[in-house]
Every structure is written in C-alpha cells, then in structure tokens.
Amino acid sequence: MQPSPPSRSAAPRIEELIARRDLSAVFQPIIDFEDGAILGYEGLIRGPAGTPLEAPFALFSQALAEGCGIALERAAARTCIEAFARLEFDGKLFLNFSAGALRQLAGTRDETLALLRHHGVDPQRLVIELTEQSTIPDVGSFLPVIAALRSDGAQFALDDYGTANASMNLWVRLQPDVVKIDRFFIHDIACDPLKFEAVRAMQHFASASGARLVAEGIENEADLIVVRDMGIGCGQGFFFGRPHAQPARKVTDDARDALRAGHIAVFPETTRTVSSASPSGGMASAKMLVHAPALPRQATNNDVLELFNRLPDLHAVAVVEHDEPVALINRRSFMDRYALPYHRELFGKRPCLLFANASPVIIEKSMTVEQMAKLLASDDQRYLADGFVITDNGKYAGLGTGENLVRAVTEVRIEAARYANPLTFLPGNIPISSHIARLLGNDAGFYACYVDLNHFKPFNDQYGYWQGDEVLKFAALVLADVCDPTRDFLGHVGGDDFLILFQSEDWRERVLRAIHVFNEGAQRFYAPADRLAGGIHGEDRRGNPTFFGFVTMAIGCVHVEPGEGPSLYTSEEIASVAALAKRRAKHEASGFVLIDADESVALLRGQAEAVHVSLE
C-alpha cells in the first residue's frame, strides 16, 4: 500500500513570517515634476512569493485577524529601511503607518533612530505616511506624536487623501508636510470634470496650507499633463514605474518627454448651462424677490386697504398662516372692486380671503432656473399680472412680479450662454478667452482656427430654425470629432461661429477633414429637390433673388508661435485676427486659409496698437 502524499501545510502565521524575516520590500518612484527627477520612493511590503499572503491586502488582513497588525507594520518598516539602504539610492523614503503604529513609533524613537543610523539612512530622508484606514478618535492627543517625529527630522504625510478617514479635519489639525491624493481622483482626470474640480479644490487648499501634493495613480500621459498644468508638483503611478525590488534610478524617457511636453492640457472643466449657472435658482430668485409684509388669514379687507394705502408701490399682498402662504391679493384687482359703490361698507370688515386668489403661483427659492422658465411657457399666465409668492423651504419670503421673472430668467440665460452654448453645450466666450490666456501664459504655440458656415442664413430662412439648429449641432459634432480632447480646445462663439485652439501637430489634416466631412454630410439636411438642384433660391441682404449653394464650412487659421505671450497680445486680439482669417477663407474654394506666422505677428501688433490708440 502506497503512503498517501503529504497534505499541503496551512499558511504560516504572521508572527512566524516576522520571526523568519520572510518579508520583502518593493519600491515605487515618486517624481518631482519641476525637474523630472525622482524625489523618492514609497516602500511597500510583500509576503512570501507565490503564496496567498504575497499580496499586501491579504497579508495585512491576516495580520488583523491574528491581532498582530501593528507588529507587521513595524516589521514592514524595518524590512523597507534595510532594503532601501542596500539599494544606496538618493532621495526620500516614504513609509506607511496606521495611527496606532505611529504612536508606538514615537514611543520607541531611540530604537528607530538606532536602526536608521545603523543602515546609514538620515531621518530627514523619511516621510511618514498616515494610512487612510486609520481612525483617530482624539486628534488633539495625536499632535504630540507628529511633533515627536518631526523633531527627529522626518516629514509627515496624509496618504490616499479624499477617501476613508482622510478628511479636511485631519488636514487642518495635523498640518501635514505632504498630502497624497488618492488615485480615484487622478485616474481619468483628463476627461472627468468632477474629479478635476475636486482636485483643484485640494490644490487651492494645499497652496493655502503650505502642503506639498503628490498625485497617486498616474497611468497615462493625458492625466499627467492635466495634473502638471494644475500646478501639482509631484506624482507617482504605473506611468512612472510599478513597485519593484530593483526600481529605476531615473525617470524613463517616455515620462521625461511627457513632463517636458510643450502643449498644455485642456482642462475638463464643467460647462455652465442655464441650470448650472444657478443650480438652486438662488441668483434668479434674488433678482426677483420683493421684500413685502404679509397679512394673517384672519385679517379683514380694511386691513388690506390700509396696507395698500400705506405702501403705494406694493403690487400685491400675501396671506399667510403659520408663516406659509395660503393666498395672494393683487392691488389692482382689489382696489378696482373696492371702488364700486358701497363695497367698503359692505365688505370692509369681512375676511380678506373674500377677494384673494386662493391658489397663487408659488416659487420656491430652490427652484431651478429651467423650472422658472417653464412658467413663461405655461397656459396659466395669471402671475404676469397678479405676481407670485416666493418661499424659502415652504415659508413666506417675499413677492415677485411677472416682469421681474422674465428679466431674471433672461439675464441668467444670457450669463450662462457666456460659459456654455445652450444648443451645443460647448464652452462659450469666457472659457474660450480663459484657455487662450492659459496658452499664452504657458508660452505654448498654437493655431487659432475660426470656423464659420457659408450660406447658413439662407438655409435657416428657408428651412426654419429647428432645422438650422440641427445643422449647427452637426457642425459641432464634426469639429469635436477632429479634435484631440487632451490637446485641442473647441468652443462655440455663437450662431454658426466656432473657435478651435489646436495644439495637435497634425492640426492641418484635422481642419481639412472637418471641412470635407461637414460639406458632405450637410447635404442630407436639404430636401431631395434642393439636393438635386445643388442649393436653394432665396434673397441676398439687399433683397435681390439669388441662388445659394449648399451650406459649407470655412476655417481661417492664425499661427501663434511660442514666446508671443500675454505681455504682447490678448485673447480678444487673437480671436479678432482669426476672424479675419475666417473671412478670407469664405472666399476660397477650399474653404481654408492659414495666415502665416509673420503676417499673424503683424496683424496682432496692428490689433494691439489700435487698442492702445483707442485708449488714448
């Protein structure tokens, strides 16, 4: 009888691994964006290779189950320090600790310092990271721990900021030297406006607090360029190198080239639509609100009359019960009735609800601008004459008039259109100017391309605005398709005018492709007979009968070379010269004109001098 094969032994306990020193260290580089050098390395621990405990998550989960998590952290730190010393690398060593492990570390400083001295590692080269899993019930009692570590020369960092227990509270109270932004916020930041806004908020606070930011999880060039251009100074991630026992001593050529890239990022900023320009409607309601006294339900018509006589400019009065509106009395309607013979004698002492509108239009301050705008298109137009009641969380706040509603909604729409075109949702004039200023401020060369549609007005007149809007949306789609969203900025100036700020090296091919694709595709918006005829009959600006060919695209481009910064030209001057190039393009069969660098400089200087003369 053959003996049975030996059973596979159970996984060793964490204490055994620590005792046998069966742990290994790997290191991931952290890059300084300013000079492209490696600032330091984060030391990470691994269990026995090829076992279920090799991965750090499994390793620390098992340690937590066995109740020896802090012991594993201390062993991991010792392993990383010893391995880092053997590598004889320059730069800082970043080590992870929980709050409990940090307390022990501060309590055994002499032992830690002796370990560092033994391996020739200066304490000033250490950056101690507080891991995101840590909870600190009493932050005040933790401050001496940080102070003790700093007194030995080490720096303190918050790890994985933005997740778990890493909070603004800790940032304010612990005042870290370094804050590492969690990879969740960095991954795909180049195309995620909300992540961009979140990181920008962190960056503003870092500037105020003096903390140095490290962006974790950088995995591609697009995310790196956005983070770099935001002003974040350091980063780590697979793009620079994966954790390895023998990490690179210098930045790879690809990473160095990306850091030195001459183009600037196109920030994925959220465009401001009508609703987002005033998310809660607060701006519109503030413009409409008329602070006016209200009357209780038990008030009489004589009370209403007295109030209107005392306040001659008051267009209406609200009737409230427990601070909530129940009715509205319009001045004109009320006074017209009271002017009738004997009405005052008959109804003066009667309840005011007798002549009130018991179902008035009520606008809550939190109502969006779009919801307010729907009132303008509703069948019930009483509010235009009667006015309406404005509430704050259901409580009476004041009154509004139909005239003020129209004005407020119109003003908000106009303001929002400056940020994002309501038809195409592309950035409007303010973001366009802002991006030109960023290009100039960063000394980045670019091509400003002004786009216009030939024969669009006759088409619009013939087929109507709805069909005209479809053509504009098609143009926006074509232009967006030829742009590299990480390098090229597309904005909608208004009407059939667009502006592209190209940084792509193959910008000319992209422009010509846009013209070709649009000119071919625009014909499908015509009726079959007009397609067969090659266009439509209409009238020119002087009213003369004219035949207009198909709607086509014209693009005029201006080259702005590096070095022609904001001290020389403004965004308005560049847009103006690009518009001139567009007018030339409309007369070219190809629909394309490029104003070369020399002529661009001359025209831009002419624009600047004209502005200077007008100011004088």
CA of 143: how far to CAs of 149, 415, 430, in Å?
A: 10, 48, 45
Higher pLDDT, 362 or 30: 30
3-state secondary structure of 583: helix
Residue 608 binned pLDDT confidence (cut-offs 50, 70, 90) = low
Rounded to 5 degrees, φ, ψ at 19 are -65, -40
Q: Are strands 388-392 and 395-400 parallel, antiparallel or unpaired?
A: antiparallel
State pLDDT tens for residues 8-59. 445 688 999 999 999 999 999 999 999 999 999 999 999 999 899 999 999 9
* Residue 55 burial (CB count, 10 A): 12
Higher pLDDT, 109 or 583: 583
Helix (H) or strand (E) holding 82: helix 69-87
Instruction: Supply the CATH classification number for the domain 422-615.
Output: 3.30.70.270
Residue 52 CA, chain-centre distance (Å), reads 41
Higher pLDDT, 362 or 552: 552
Amino acid at 375: L
Distance separating alpha carbons of residues 320 and 174, to the nearest angstrom: 51
Structure tokens at 571: 């965004």
Task: Give the residue-averaged pLDDT of 284-297.
Answer: 81
Distance separating alpha carbons of residues 159 and 425, to the nearest angstrom: 37
Domain 14-259 -> CATH class = alpha beta
What mean pLDDT is reported for the chain? 86
Q: Is the pLDDT of residue 616 over 60?
A: no
State pLDDT tens for residues 184-240. 999 999 999 889 999 999 999 999 999 999 999 999 999 999 999 999 999 999 999
Task: Give the residue-averaged pLDDT of 574-581.
Answer: 88
State pLDDT tens for residues 58-78. 999 999 999 999 999 999 999
| Predicted local confidence at residue 284, as pLDDT | 59
372-376-380 Cα angle (round to 5)? 105
Q: Is the pLDDT of residue 615 over 80?
A: no
Helix (H) or strand (E) holding 556: strand 552-560
| Predicted local confidence at residue 564, as pLDDT | 61
Q: How many CA atoms does the CB half-sphere of 415 hold within 13 Å?
A: 14
State pLDDT tens for residues 229-254. 999 999 999 999 999 999 999 999 99
Structure tokens at 59: 């390793």
- CB burial of 256-277 (b: ≥16 within 10 Å; e: otherwise) equals eebbebebbbbbbbebbbbbeb
Task: Give the residue-averaged pLDDT of 159-171.
Answer: 75
- In Å, the largest CA–CA distance within the chain is 124
Task: Give the residue-averaged pLDDT of 584-593.
Answer: 94
Residue 165 binned pLDDT confidence (cut-offs 50, 70, 90) = low
3-state secondary structure of 487: coil
CATH number 3.40.50.9100 given to 276-414: no
Distance separating alpha carbons of residues 455 and 462, to the nearest angstrom: 11
Distance separating alpha carbons of residues 541 and 532, to the nearest angstrom: 25
Residue 468 CA, chain-centre distance (Å), reads 31
Higher pLDDT, 316 or 365: 316
| Predicted local confidence at residue 274, as pLDDT | 35
State pLDDT tens for residues 99-144. 888 888 888 878 888 888 888 889 999 999 998 666 777 888 889 9
Distance separating alpha carbons of residues 186 and 160, to the nearest angstrom: 11
Which residue is associated with the tokens 């300013």?
34
Q: Where are the domains of the chain?
A: 14-259, 276-414, 422-615
The runs of H, that is alpha helices, within 108-242 are: 109-118, 139-151, 168-174, 183-186, 193-209, 221-230
Is residue 97 a contact partner of residue 77, using CB atoms and an 8 Å limit?
A: yes
Rounded to 5 degrees, φ, ψ at 229 are -75, -20
Is residue 213 a contact partner of residue 158, using CB atoms and an 8 Å limit?
A: no
Q: Among residues of the chain, what percentage have pLDDT more than 70?
A: 86
Task: Give the residue-averaged pLDDT of 386-400.
Answer: 86
Which residue is associated with the tokens 């509430």?
391
Is residue 165 a contact partner of residue 135, using CB atoms and an 8 Å limit?
A: yes
DSSP secondary structure string, 389-422? EEEETTEEEEEE-HHHHHHHHHHHHHHHHTTB-T
